[in-house]
Amino acid sequence: MSKLAIVVLAAATVLIAGLAFAGYRFYTYVEYDPTFCGSCHLMQNAWQTWQAGPHTAVNCHVCHQQHMGDRARIVWRWATQDLQNVPPHTRLARTVCEQCHLSQDPRWAQIGDTAGHDIHVKRAGLECLSCHLPSLHAVEPKVEACQTCHSAARMNIGGMVAFHCTTCHTFLATAARGMFPERETCLACHASMQVKGETFPDGAPMAFGCADCHKPHSKPVLQFQDCLSCHPTVLEDQAHFERRALTACVQCHMPHSWRAATWP
Q: Is pLDDT above 50 for 246?
A: yes
| Percentage of residues in the chain having pLDDT higher than 90 | 5
pTM exceeds 0.75: no
User: Half-sphere exposure (CA, 13 Å, Cβ side) for 100?
Assistant: 14
> What is the per-residue pLDDT across 182-237, written as a single tens digit (0 to 9) for each?
888 888 888 777 776 677 777 666 667 788 888 878 777 788 888 888 888 887 78
What span, in angstroms and rounded, lies between the C-alpha atoms of 14 and 88?
A: 41
Dmax over CA atoms of the chain, in Å, equals: 125
Q: Where are the domains of the chain?
A: 3-66, 94-210
What span, in angstroms and rounded, lies between the C-alpha atoms of 133 and 182?
A: 28
pLDDT averaged over every residue in the chain: 80
Amino acid found at 56: T
Closest CA to 179 of 124, 119, 220: 119
Q: Is pLDDT above 60 for 263?
A: no
Q: Looking at the chain, how many residues does it have?
A: 264
pLDDT given for residue 261 in this prediction:
64
What is the mean predicted confidence (pLDDT) over 54-69? 83
**Cβ proximity of 47 and 38 under 8 Å:** yes
